[in-house]
Amino acid sequence: MASVIESAWTYLITNFNDFQLACLGSFFLHESVFFLSGLPFILLERAGWLSKYKIQTKNNTPAAQEKCITRLLLYHFCVNLPLMMASYPVFKLMGMRNTLPLPSWKVISTQVLFYFILEDFVFYWGHRILHTKWLYKHVHSVHHEYATPFGLTSEYAHPAEILFLGFATIVGPIITGPHLITLWLWMILRVLETVEAHCGYHFPWSLSNFLPLYGGADFHDYHHRLLYTKSGNYSSTFVYMDWLFGTDKGYRRLKVLKSDACEAEGKEM
Ligand SMILES: [Zn+2]
Ligand SMILES: [Zn+2]
C-alpha cells in the first residue's frame, strides 16, 4: 500500500509543479470530495429513501437545493480558490513541502488529530462571535438560511464567514508546515466531517454512535433548528467545548426528554 501511494505521489510531483499541486490540486480535490459526498443526500431527500433516519420531517424544495449549489460554485471559484492561492506563500514560508520521502503514518495522524482539536476550539469561539446580533444579521444568517440542512449546506455561508472560519481550518497546518499529503488528508476528513454534520440524517452507522466525543449530524442539526439566540451546539467536530462552556444544555435536555418518551412508549407496549 505504502509503495502504491509513493508511486502515485512520484507521478504527481514529476508532472506538476509545487504551486499547481498546492493550489489547483487542493481545489480539485476539495471540489471532488465535497460534491461527491454531499450530492447523495440531495438525492436521498428528493427520493424519500431512508426517510426513517431523517432528523427533521421537513424537506427542502428542489429550488432551494439548486440555489445552494449555484451559490456554492460561485463562492468556491471566487472566494475559496483565490484564498488558496493567496495563502500559498504563507504555507511555503512555514515549511510546507511535497517531496519524497512521505511522512510516516504516525506523523500524519498526530498532525491531523492536532488540526481537528485546534480547529474545533477556534471554530467554537468564532462561531459564538458570529451568533452576536450584528454579525448574525449581516453575516452568519446566510449559513442559517437552511434550517433543515443537507450535506452541501455545510459550506453555504457569507464570503466573510468563509474567510473568518476558514482561518480555523488552516491555522493548524500553517503553524506546523506539514507535508502536502497531510494537508490533503486533513482537507478530505474535514470536508467529510462537515458534510456529515449537515447531512440531515442520523443513521445506525453514524460515527457519533461509536465515537463518544464526536458531534455528528444530530448535534449540529439541533443548532440549525433553533433561533440564533438560543441555538447552542457551536462546535464543529467534538461535543466537549459546548459541554465545558454550558452551551449544550438545551440539546441535552431534549435528549433526556426524547429518551424518557421512548421509555414510556416501550412500557405502554
Ligand atoms: Zn450558527
Ligand atoms: Zn451549520
pLDDT of residue 268: 56
Ligand nearest to the backbone CA of 229 = 1
Q: How far is CA 267 from CA 105, 255, 261, 262, 264, in A?
A: 50, 18, 10, 9, 5
The domain tally of the chain equals 1
Average pLDDT of the segment spanning 213-225:
96
pLDDT band at 140 (very low <50, low <70, confident <90, very high): very high
The verdict on residue 53 lying in a domain is yes
Q: Which of 196, 220, 250 is nearest to 147 (CA)?
A: 220
What's the average model confidence in pLDDT over 228-251? 94
Beta-bridge partner residues of 54: 201
Tell me, yes or no, whether 141 lies in a domain: yes
Q: Is residue 230 part of a domain?
A: no
Helices 216-225/249-268 angle, 10° precision: 110
Q: Which of 146, 153, 151 is nearest to 44 (CA)?
A: 151
Question: Can you read off the three cell numbers belonging to residue 42?
Answer: 440531495
If you measure from the C-alpha of residue 126 to the centroid of ligand 1, how many angstroms do you get, rounded to a whole number?
10
Q: What is the DSSP string of 24-74?
A: IIHHHHHHHHHHHHHHHHHHHHHHTTTGGGBS-S----HHHHHHHHHHHHH
Calculate how far, in angstroms, residue 6's C-alpha sits from the geometric centre of ligand 2: 36
Q: What is the pLDDT of residues 147-206, one digit of tens each?
A: 999 999 999 999 999 999 989 999 999 999 999 999 999 999 999 999 999 999 999 999
Q: Say if residue 266's pLDDT is above 90.
A: no
The answer to whether residue 8 is domain-embedded is yes
- Look up the pTM and report it: 0.95
Residue 267: band (very low, low, confident or very high) from pLDDT cuts 50, 70, 90:
low
**Domain presence at residue 255:** no
How far away, in angstroms, is 262 Cα from ligand 1 center?
29
Q: What is the crossing angle of helices 81-93 and 159-176, to 10°?
A: 20
The ligand placed nearest to the CA atom of residue 151 is: 2
pLDDT value of position 1 = 74
Cell 495563502 belongs to residue: 87
- Please determine, for residue 269, whether its predicted confidence score (pLDDT) is greater than 70: no
| 199 Cβ contact partners less than 8 Å away, ≥ 6 residues apart | 41, 149, 150, 151, 217
* Closest to 144 measured CA to CA, from 134, 156, 160: 156
Q: Is residue 209 part of a domain?
A: no
Distance of CA 15 from the midpoint of ligand 1 (Å): 42
- Residue 111 confidence (pLDDT) above 60: yes
Q: Look at residue 229 in the predicted model and tell me its pLDDT.
A: 78
Going by pLDDT thresholds of 50, 70 and 90, the confidence category of residue 264 is confident
Of the listed ligands, the closest to the CA of 136 is 1
Element (H, E) at 182: helix 180-197
Q: Residue 230 pLDDT more than 90?
A: no
Mean pLDDT, rounded, of the chain: 94
pLDDT at 130 over 60: yes
Quote the DSSP letter at residue 104: P
Mean pLDDT across 247-262? 91
pLDDT at 227: 79
Q: What is the pLDDT of residue 152?
A: 97
142 lies in a domain? yes
Residue 131 lies in a domain: yes
Q: Which structural domain range is residue 29 located in?
A: 2-201
